[in-house]
Chains A and B, each alone.
Chain A
Amino acid sequence: MANAMLIDESRCMGCRGCQVACKQWNDNPAELTENWGSYENPPELSGITWTKVKFTEKVEGDQVKWLFLTQGCMHCTEASCEAVCPTGAIQHHGQYVLVDQDWCIGCGYCVAACPFDAIHSVFETEAGGEQKATAKKCTFCVDRTSNGLLPACVKTCPSGALSWGDRSDMIATGKDRVAALQAGGYARANLYGEDQLGGLHRLYVLADEPSAYGLPEAPRHATSNVAGQWLSGILTAGIVAAVPFWLVFKRQRAEEAQGGGAER
């Protein structure tokens, strides 16, 4: 039985407690930002920003709406990132799509393949001065959730917009809420994520159509396309594949020299 996160965007008020709680629990540094004419910052998800709130203003007649979308990895059942990963570093286990940081070679294919722009490369300088790139994203706080705790964002949400539990329960709750919203005049209210990409593990109750929030109505699984390009890349320039593998071996040698993996 897989769990899922249910995000009721009709109850989100854009306070961004989730965004800060995510950074705090996962020890991610702040980005240098400037106001670009919006409350929204950082402007995009990144390798050090795994959860953020997207702010969208929508005008309908003389009414204005301010829509908030808590963005992050959807943990898709048919995960494009997993499909295109050349090393098998990205795996789908139950509700989680996780990147094994030891196996990630930083090739960036997952970054290009993700239909939600939710996974990004981070360049870090390791002890010993080596540059390493790996892909990072929301882990559903696997270190918390696998120990019976709520994800940091859910734990902190003050309005009750975020919840975490058995996926079928989350779907049932979401559908009830959609029905209540529709009855309350939100004709376009919908549950997003039940069926997309084999079922997402981040589900949204939306008060408006997905595109109003900037979500793709029908996200596509990127396997054939990106993986095909990758294979042709090996044929035409084997070095593209060789360099990352070389980096892996080099890093492993470095770890052995230090007596095992560096403390994270």
Chain B
Amino acid sequence: MTNQWRDLKNADAFLVCGANPAENHPASMSHINKARDARGAKLIVVDPRFTRSASTADIYAPIRSGSDIAFWGGLMNYILENNLYHEEYVVNYTNASFLIDEGFQGAADLDGYFSGFDPETQSYDQDTWAYQQDTEGNILRDETLQDPNCVFQLLKKHYERYTVDMVEKVCGMPKDNFLEVAQAFAATGAPEKTGTILYAMGQTQHTVGTQNVRCMAMVQLLLGNTGRPGGGVNALRGESNVQGSTDMALLFHIIPAYMNTPNAAKHSDLAEYLEKETPTGGYWVNKPKFLISLLKAWWGDKATQSNDFRYDFLPKISGGINTYAWISMFHAINDGTVKGMWILGQNPAVGGPNARFERKALEKLDWMVVQEIAPTATTDFWRAPDVDPTSIQTEVFLLPAADAMEKEGTIVTSGRLIQYRPKVAEPPGEAQGDIEIMDLIYQELRRLYEAEGGALPEAVLELNWSHGADFDSICREINGYWTKDVTDEEGNAVGTEGEMVANFTKLTDDGSTACGNWIYSGYWVPANDGDGNMVTACKRRGQKDPGGLGMNPYWGFSWPVNRRIIYNRCSADSSGKPWSEDKALIWWDEEEGKWTGYDVPDFSGTKGPGDAGFNDPYIMQPEGKGRLFAARNEGPFPEHYEPLESPVANLLSSVQFNPVVKQWDVDRGQDVGDNVGTSDQFPIVCSTYRVCEHWQAGGMSVWLPWLAEAQPEPFLEMSVELAQEKGVSNGDRVVVSSARGEVEVVAIVTPRVKPFTLDGKTVHQVGMPWHFSWQGLARGATANFLTPHVGDGNTMIPEYKAFLVDVRKAV
């Protein structure tokens, strides 16, 4: 989230697309309803099904799964054609006025491609996607937005093709319905209004997931909604602490706090890493301080200037998403490259795409360690109903883990709010917290390396790990501390060895500070709780809310530096005044000569009108502007491509499928393999989703009797029309089949699902929840038996949300 849950109450409109807050984030509805009660805010829900969120919405619009960019493109075209964009914001705060290389050509010119595509490597040479610069390196701009090569004109040209008729034909969203949505949300382009976009996996789990998210950011930039109360691009994150996991580098491509993982080919030593990874402008110029402080945290006194702060001990990657992302990893297991796997709180046998393929891959492992709180289809994959345990050689170790309530910790919400949580119960039996488990493993590894040596034992032996399972000690390291006494030029003490740094502005690149995660810096130091008590920042529970906007700065700690709305410089106009009084968040105080207000300014506090960069609010970008034009693997503007499996041809170009996405074809044609279906065999669009009553792959919910009672088994939601065609009655058992497999579930035949009319053709859509397996009290078929092994062109997140199936009545 760029904003906060509690900030939702400030919105004038909510556009929910690819999310289902009523079912999957029910607590959000209290904030949404506050805005509806207090300011008549409109709740718009765009979804293939009429969900529980749709039931409470002011406007519902159906959309075919996998056609989001056509919808967003149509919305942008509507905003641009009708001059509904927030002009002052667009001119000053975005790169709309920037001139792009004259060699650039877009999808409108090149039938779905952008300039620079190489079909051999399935990738783009992005040289023509650069800004034009003068001889001194200044970016050329046209603030009248008229130059045919400025981003604004290129954007207009790109989305001209996304007409209202095109939206109807591609998305199946009736024209009037689309216009009702567009009108309601585009009204937030008025300077005094703001609207928020709420999204979740319905946007990201596509082969164009990254570009779907880009679309939302672009709409919000055009309407001037980002960085302002009641605005923003807000990901409703799928697990309570997945934001924290991401911050801590859950994914392969980053190390903690969003720095790229060193690549063996590109970053041979620290100097090369810092040179290539540190931009020349924007806040990331501080990256060397953050990286070196991280190395100091990990290798302590052993990390010195003379040994590159032990940069050489950092593991290096040698590829990208096609080597390390989830799907790639399972192919590496399948082909024997990866021989062992350690799984913490993951359940690939239920949650993985093409789950039959992934279950079969698990059988090829030499060993598997699982840290889990309950039996899942992964912990026990070797004894699944269709598996003969005697045929499986994998050695499986189950480490019983404590539940979140059974250990001390912090949880980071979607709104980047870090909240401390004490342990409230003892874990059962031999279960232990993850920190305890990892510490025991570390101690044993250390003992073995000491006794037996091995490859690069120093990386472990020199590791700065003396925390044991001391939670406070670990948090101090994450927060950051001084590694020695430091004084300024006049001899005044700046930092004292062993004491925590106040925040990341204190971090240095000379080894005098250590910090495990720079964006969290400040979260573990004492801070005012609003009533004058000094309390560890993320443990604060002060309820004061200066300004009444729900910023609640004394509750917990929101990274970075307790900032509640990021890019909040945008909440004030180009002279530093709030766009409207009721949404005044921060503003320039002329008398004091500084920024002030109800949130921590996301800006230099003393940079005033007339100063260079006063209107460059996007401080993490070198150019300081929100990017309407931004290079991603498949292009600088999102372009509609159909999902891997689609019932229709792409009406916008002859490029059917995202051209940069890798497709595997392992064991294609076999019963279990990378099989791809076609619409003649599998004519129905299917999507997977979650229900309110269960949680992800089920480990935490399917064993709970009250939840099993409420939602006892998986089901298929289908339209009355499709049911008639297939001779299915409500409550019948049906078989759902795809190119990957088939499952039998109960049918919910409902008027809440409607067939789509796409350019005159009737296309049916169905959907299934994916929580279930043979394990648990609530159990049944695993929806991911049906999903394809293919992912997004930038992240490789699997395309769970749009694939093809057929349905028949079970006999």
Residues of chain A touching chain B, judged by Cβ–Cβ distance below 8 Å, are 10-17, 19-20, 23-24, 29-39, 41-42, 57, 59, 64-68, 158-160
Q: Is B731 an interface residue (CB 8 A)?
A: yes
- Interface window among B160-168, B224-232, B621-629, B706-714: B706-714
Chain B, Cβ-Cβ closest to A40: B710
A16 adjacent to B693 (CB under 8 Å): yes
User: Which of A31, A57, A67, A159 is B29 in contact with, Cβ under 8 Å?
Assistant: A159
With contact pairs A14-B55, A29-B705, A37-B749 given, residues A159 and B26 touching in the complex (Cβ less than 8 Å):
yes
Which chain A residues lie closer than 8 Å to B712 at the CB level? 33-35, 41
Nearest 9 CB-CB pairs, A to B? A37-B731, A30-B705, A13-B22, A37-B730, A30-B709, A66-B55, A159-B29, A158-B26, A15-B26
CA distance A30 to B708 in the complex (A): 8
Give me 17 other A-B pairs in contact (C-beta within 8 A), A11-B33, A30-B705, A160-B30 excluded: A13-B22, A13-B52, A13-B55, A15-B26, A15-B692, A23-B709, A24-B706, A29-B705, A33-B712, A37-B732, A37-B746, A57-B751, A65-B55, A66-B50, A66-B752, A159-B22, A159-B30
B591 shortest CB reach to chain A, Å: 42
Which chain A residues lie closer than 8 Å to B713 at the CB level? 34-35
Chain B, Cβ-Cβ closest to A35: B746
B50 shortest CB reach to chain A, Å: 5
CA distance A10 to B37 in the complex (A): 12
**Interface pairs (25), CB distance under 8 Å:** A11-B33, A12-B56, A13-B22, A14-B692, A15-B52, A16-B693, A23-B709, A30-B705, A30-B708, A33-B709, A34-B746, A35-B746, A36-B746, A37-B730, A37-B749, A39-B748, A57-B752, A64-B50, A65-B55, A66-B52, A158-B30, A159-B26, A159-B29, A159-B33, A160-B30
CA distance A19 to B709 in the complex (A): 10
Which chain B residues lie closer than 8 Å to A11 at the CB level? 29, 33, 56
B710 adjacent to A64 (CB under 8 Å): no
B237 shortest CB reach to chain A, Å: 17
Which chain A residues lie closer than 8 Å to B53 at the CB level? 13
CA distance A33 to B707 in the complex (A): 11
A106 shortest CB reach to chain B, Å: 24
A57 adjacent to B709 (CB under 8 Å): no
Which chain B residues lie closer than 8 Å to A59 at the CB level? 751
Which chain A residues lie closer than 8 Å to B746 at the CB level? 34-37
A41 shortest CB reach to chain B, Å: 6
A68 adjacent to B30 (CB under 8 Å): no
Report the contact-size class of chain B (Cβ under 8 Å from the partner): 35 or more
Which chain A residues lie closer than 8 Å to B749 at the CB level? 37
With contact pairs A11-B33, A37-B747, A158-B27 given, residues A19 and B710 touching in the complex (Cβ less than 8 Å):
yes
Q: Which of B23, B33, B707, B730 has the most CB of A within 10 A?
A: B33
Q: Is B750 an interface residue (CB 8 A)?
A: yes
Q: Is B14 an interface residue (CB 8 A)?
A: no
With contact pairs A35-B748, A57-B752, A66-B50 given, residues A41 and B55 touching in the complex (Cβ less than 8 Å):
no
A64 adjacent to B751 (CB under 8 Å): yes
B23 adjacent to A15 (CB under 8 Å): yes
A122 shortest CB reach to chain B, Å: 16
Q: Is B178 an interface residue (CB 8 A)?
A: no
Which chain B residues lie closer than 8 Å to A158 at the CB level? 26-27, 29-30
Which chain B residues lie closer than 8 Å to A57 at the CB level? 750-752
Which chain A residues lie closer than 8 Å to B26 at the CB level? 13, 15, 17, 158-159
Which chain B residues lie closer than 8 Å to A64 at the CB level? 50, 751-752
With contact pairs A13-B52, A14-B22, A34-B713 given, residues A23 and B751 touching in the complex (Cβ less than 8 Å):
no
Q: Is B588 an interface residue (CB 8 A)?
A: no
CA distance A74 to B441 in the complex (A): 57
Which chain A residues lie closer than 8 Å to B705 at the CB level? 29-30
B730 adjacent to A30 (CB under 8 Å): no
Q: Is B715 an interface residue (CB 8 A)?
A: yes
Which chain A residues lie closer than 8 Å to B23 at the CB level? 13, 15
B676 shortest CB reach to chain A, Å: 31
CA distance A39 to B27 in the complex (A): 20
A181 shortest CB reach to chain B, Å: 12
Chain A, Cβ-Cβ closest to B53: A13
Chain A, Cβ-Cβ closest to B717: A39
User: Which of B29, B691, B706, B750 is A13 in contact with, Cβ under 8 Å?
Assistant: B29
CA distance A199 to B692 in the complex (A): 34
B141 shortest CB reach to chain A, Å: 46
With contact pairs A33-B709, A158-B27 given, residues A16 and B692 touching in the complex (Cβ less than 8 Å):
yes
Q: Which of B54, B56, B713, B746 has the most CB of A within 10 A?
A: B56
CA distance A33 to B780 in the complex (A): 13
B709 adjacent to A42 (CB under 8 Å): yes
User: Which of A20, A23, A38, A66 is B748 in contact with, Cβ under 8 Å?
Assistant: A38
Q: Mark B23-54, 1 if CB is under 8 A from A, else 0.
A: 10011011001000000000000000010111
User: Which of A13, A20, A39, A68 is B707 in contact with, Cβ under 8 Å?
Assistant: A20
A256 shortest CB reach to chain B, Å: 35
CA distance A20 to B26 in the complex (A): 14
Chain A, Cβ-Cβ closest to B731: A37
A51 shortest CB reach to chain B, Å: 12
With contact pairs A66-B50, A160-B33 given, residues A36 and B709 touching in the complex (Cβ less than 8 Å):
no
CA distance A68 to B703 in the complex (A): 26
B726 shortest CB reach to chain A, Å: 15
Chain A, Cβ-Cβ closest to B174: A62
B711 adjacent to A39 (CB under 8 Å): yes
B185 shortest CB reach to chain A, Å: 19
CA distance A130 to B795 in the complex (A): 63
User: Which of B22, B52, B715, B751 is A35 in contact with, Cβ under 8 Å?
Assistant: B715
Which chain B residues lie closer than 8 Å to A31 at the CB level? 709
